[in-house]
Structure 1
Amino acid sequence: MPDSDVFLAPGTVAIPVTLVTAAGWPEVEAGLDPAQRAFAAATGFAPKAGRLALLPGAEGQLARILFGLGETDAPAYDRLLAGKLPGLLPPGVYRIEGAPVPAEAALAWALGAYAFRRYRAPASEAARLVAPEDVDAAEIAQIASAVARGRDLVNTPANDLGPAEIEAAVRAVAERHGAAVTVTAGESLAAEFPLVHAVGAGATRPPRLIDLTWGRAGAPRITLVGKGVAFDTGGLDIKPSAAMLLMKKDMGGAAAALAAADMVMGAELPIRLRLLIPAVENSVSGDAFRPGDVVRSRAGLTVEIGNTDAEGRLILADALALADAEGPDLILDFATLTGAARVALGPDLPAVFTEDEGLAAEIAASGAAAIDPVWRMPLHAPYASLLDSKIADLNNVSGGPFAGAITAALFLRRFAPKTKAHAHFDLYGWNPSTKPGRPEGGEVQTARLAYALLKARYAPA
């Protein structure tokens, strides 16, 4: 989605959409003309969350919209509630008024207007929003466009999105912002990134390590790492069919990292950005890696393969070793990594792991500010013994059913030991059902958080 398509220009003639809180309803009601006030009463409008009233004008035209926000100080209040509007309103041009936080309402609309259109044309024209005059509409449009491009990647099925197409998506973003991209594949990949090569060896579509760099030399060095498994069969430890249905989303970490990078470059934050995406397909063939194999990683650590379905941490390990060697100021890695994190926190709340207390506080604050929340989980060091191997430096899985998200995070931490400021996001990458601003389907969870974090750190207002 081009940024210019998100909002219409300020001043465009538009139907007003009044956002109504419970506390503000008496004043709004008093300001309606008598016919509209009577119509709202006759149709039973109340300023409850999500309630809608379409009010007519003197000639029967649609003249005003009322949209209830409910109690905005309630614990369960959804700050993206206005994201319901694009799916509720008839085609037309609208402007929002009365929003408690105008920028949040505009972002909610932009996120809620998303639809995946690669394979099916929309049933009707979409409702359009005029850019609010009291917000940074250009920044909101850039964020929404980056999210839309990331969602498109997650939603695209694996027959149309393999490692090469992930590379093409990175190159398209790089070209938009003047970034450089290098790719390691083939024999060079086997020599330099042996874990990435091992995971992708069973597929007909070759694996690769994608490396994007942008920004001025001498600026703070920030590295984003995203898990790019285009499809995960589980390998020889093959998944049951029900567990494979959504595995097109197993590159959701790469999509989130790329979306965050897109936002950072679009805002021209004063940093030296590096984006690393190991892109593979975990498939089954005579060349597939096996349970019991031992592979020497880029970092030199030998890894016993306890389960080929724990492939994401393997490819991230080699990418993290590359990132750590440069000594960046901050590493953020993103991955649809463990079912254990979903059992603990559900699909809406990614887990975050970090040893850096200051960074943890920044992440929590940035997630709240960006309406992109996460929950910190512990890097409980004693659990590292669960990854012990009798024949290698470590196993890629623990020997039991407990603490799966923690042991995965501890595994990754072994490959970036020098970088104290390192956070690992274990995300779902999918909205199981439609919520305001979050349509059912692919989601680049934590991308807006990462952008808010980097903006607050390096380009504070």
Structure 2
Amino acid sequence: MTFPQAKNESNIDKAISSGSDWDAVILIAQDHQHLNNLTLKETIASHQRIDARVGKECMLLIASGIAGGRLVYAPTGPLDRGFDDVRRVSDAAKKAIVMARDAGSRNPLLVVCGVPEDQGYTHALEVAYFGACQALWQPLEAREALNEEDIEPVKSIGLYAKGKLDMDALEAVESGRRLARDLCGTEPERMSPPRFAEYCEQAFEGSSVKVEVVSDDATLRKDYPLLYAVGRCSVHTPRHQPRVIRLEYTGEGEILQNLFFAGKGITYDTGGADLKTGGHMAGMSRDKGGAAAVAGFVQCLARCQPKGIRVVAEIGAVRNSIGSDAFVADEIITSHAGVRVRIGNTDAEGRLVLADLLSHLREQAKEAIDPTLFSVATLTGHAAMAYGPYTAYVENGAAREHHCGDKLANIGDIWGDPGEVSRSRKEDFDFVRPRTKADDVLSSNNGPSSTTARGHQFPMAFLSIASGLINHDSNADKPLPYVHMDIAGSGVDAGDWQHDTPTGAPVVALAARYMGL
């Protein structure tokens, strides 16, 4: 797994000179009027005299005195308005790196200057690097079918900074984001449940991460009954059979914090018996974005090796197929936690998978020091409708008391991986209440989440009940903070789940929060 290597440059005059090792300079700035470097400023001014577009849009400028003879100038526009944030730098970097690559650059130098001197832009250069890598990524199938060096030709990206940057940490995070993009953005046969598990095993081979794959049919049926129901129609096809992938990272020294992650890995979602129609099935090979992000975060840990932290993840890789053995609405299935779940809609399958995973993690978290639980999923269209390209953090009471969502959202803003904190309320628990004595909880209504009031909040109530976490909220003897992360809006660039590039969200926010970037 390769991606552009990050290299620190601290001497701007030497780095941008025609005699340097870089073959292009990418300048990202609000404007060029206040540049301190005379070479860059005069180059831009001379081009602006003959081309009015310079300074208004991303442009390739030819300059013999600059490294590689190429200067890509990508203006960000204003950055100091109340609604601006560091993602404007990332957006400029995406455009600029593609232009540099297409012009023939293979080792460009990235210069970010003129950003506001406040906390929101503290990591603007690093965010620009992540944006560039995002734009350069090509799908796994393309890299396997074609020459990877031809379709991803950029080898390194220089980062100009007056001080030292932690390049190892940056590359660790990008490695995790790349794994997440590969797992999420791959078609349903190449990344079917068994092959998803194999890719994880390959990714963590030789690392400090312990990997265990549960594939035995009887074990899955007994220990993950809701998950198994979702995959029931797929078990007759060996290449689609479900898997549970367990990942565990334990840092050196005394463990002071334990994190537990459940990842939704629906490798293809037909909707099941509640079949997706009207073209809404396209893109459902990426309904595994939550599982991909969980694996990506663990990859960051494997590369960075932070001390004093333990992370346990369970990923449910399942195909929600349609056929004679598909589970249907009205079935009552007892979860791993012993909760009787009435199925309301088979297209609300991801929460069933997560509930069993969370129940297993809950049992471990009860005995752990400073535990926090998370579920990560492309769960609802409502999250994308409500928050657009932002991750939705839905907290239980214990998590709210610890400000878990606020801390993730605040640090995500600084690192260009933003989220919105969403409250879990009594209406959400009322919505999934049992209607008869035959069951304990309803999995879903039978309408689309995007047109359902509190459509991304009430699933968290279901997850809390079906997993047994409701017994460990803020009023319990052993409270367990729990945050549900819905990445339906943040999981891909621009919102097209069939064609757009997976983002790896919320890998960067998690790494910044728990690895001390």
Say if 1:47 and 1:293 are closer, same or farther in 2 by CA, change over 3 A. Answer: same
- Residues 25 and 320 of structure 1, relative CA distance in 2, 3 Å threshold: same
Letter in 2 for 1:279: A
AA of the residue aligned to 1:289: F
Look up the match of 2:2. 2
Aligned match for 2:419, one of 374, 378, 384: 374
| 8 Å CA contact retained: 2:265, 2:288 | yes
Partner amino acid, structure 2, of 1:95: L
Quote the residue 2:464 is aligned against: 413
Which aligned pairs between 1:47-446 and structure 2 lie closer than 5 A? 47-48=55-56, 50-57=57-64, 62-74=69-81, 75-77=83-85, 78-80=88-90, 81-89=92-100, 90-92=103-105, 93-99=107-113, 100=115, 101-119=124-142, 121=146, 126-132=153-159, 134-184=164-214, 185-203=216-234, 204=237, 205-216=240-251, 219=255, 220-270=257-307, 271-327=309-365, 328=368, 329-346=371-388, 348-355=389-396, 356-357=399-400, 358-389=403-434, 390=436, 391-398=438-445, 401-414=452-465, 415=467, 416-417=469-470, 418=472, 419-428=479-488, 429-432=491-494, 440-446=500-506
Distance 2:414 2:440 in 1: 41
By how many angstroms is 1:177 displaced?
1.9
CA 1:426–1:377 in structure 2 vs 1: closer, same or farther (change >3 Å)? same
Decide whether aligned partners of structure 1 residues 60 and 275 sit closer, same or farther in structure 2, where only a CA change above 3 A counts: closer
- The count of corresponding residues between Structure 1 and Structure 2 is 450
Matched to 1:132, the amino acid is L
Q: Greater shift after overlay, 317-326 or 422-431?
A: 422-431
Structure 2: gaps spanning 5 or more residues = 10-14, 116-123, 473-478
Question: Percent identity of the aligned residues?
Answer: 22
Q: Which moved more, 1:306-315 or 1:358-367?
A: 358-367
Q: Following TM superposition, by how much is the alpha carbon of 1:259 offset from its aligned partner in structure 2, in angstroms?
A: 0.6
Deviates most, 113-122 or 280-289: 113-122
Using the TM superposition, give the Cα deviation of residue 31 of structure 1 relative to its aligned residue in structure 2, in angstroms: 4.1
Change (3 A) 1:207 1:233: same
Q: After TM superposition, give the deviation of residue 225 of structure 1 in Å.
A: 1.2
Match of 2:513 among 449, 453, 456: 453
Whichever residue aligns with residue 157 of structure 1, its letter is E
Displacement after TM superposition at 1:59 (Å): 11
Distance change (3 Å), C-alpha of 1:218 and 1:308: farther
Q: Is the 8 A contact 1:387 1:399 kept in 2?
A: no
Alpha-carbon distance between aligned partners in 1 of 2:67 and 2:347, rounded to the nearest angstrom: 60
- 8 A contact 1:349–1:373 mirrored in 2: yes
Query: How big is the shift at 1:155?
Result: 1.6
Q: Which moves more between the two structures, 132-141 or 235-244?
A: 132-141
Distance 2:312 2:247 in 1: 6
Q: Residue 322 and residue 34 in structure 1: after superposition, are their counterparts in 2 closer, same or farther (change >3 A)?
A: closer
- 2-side partners of 1:84 and 1:126: how far apart? 16
Residues 44-83 of structure 1: CA distance to partner in whole angstroms, max 9, x if unpaired?
Answer: 25434x4324132279972433332222223335131212
One-letter identity of the residue aligned with 1:70: G
CA gap of 1:332–1:59, structure 2 versus 1, over 3 A, is closer
The answer for unaligned runs of 5 or more in structure 1 is none
* Distance change in 2, residues 1:455/1:33 (3 Å): closer
With structure 1 as the length reference, what TM-score do the two structures score? 0.89
Greater mean deviation of Cα atoms: 411-420 or 222-231: 411-420
CA distance in 2, matches of 1:368, 1:129: 26
**TM-score (norm. length: structure 2):** 0.80
Q: Are the counterparts in 2 of residues 341 and 405 from structure 1 also a CA contact under 8 Å?
A: yes
RMSD: 2.7
- 8 Å contact from structure 1 (residues 21, 71) kept in 2: no
Between stretches 7-16 and 215-224, larger displacement belongs to: 7-16
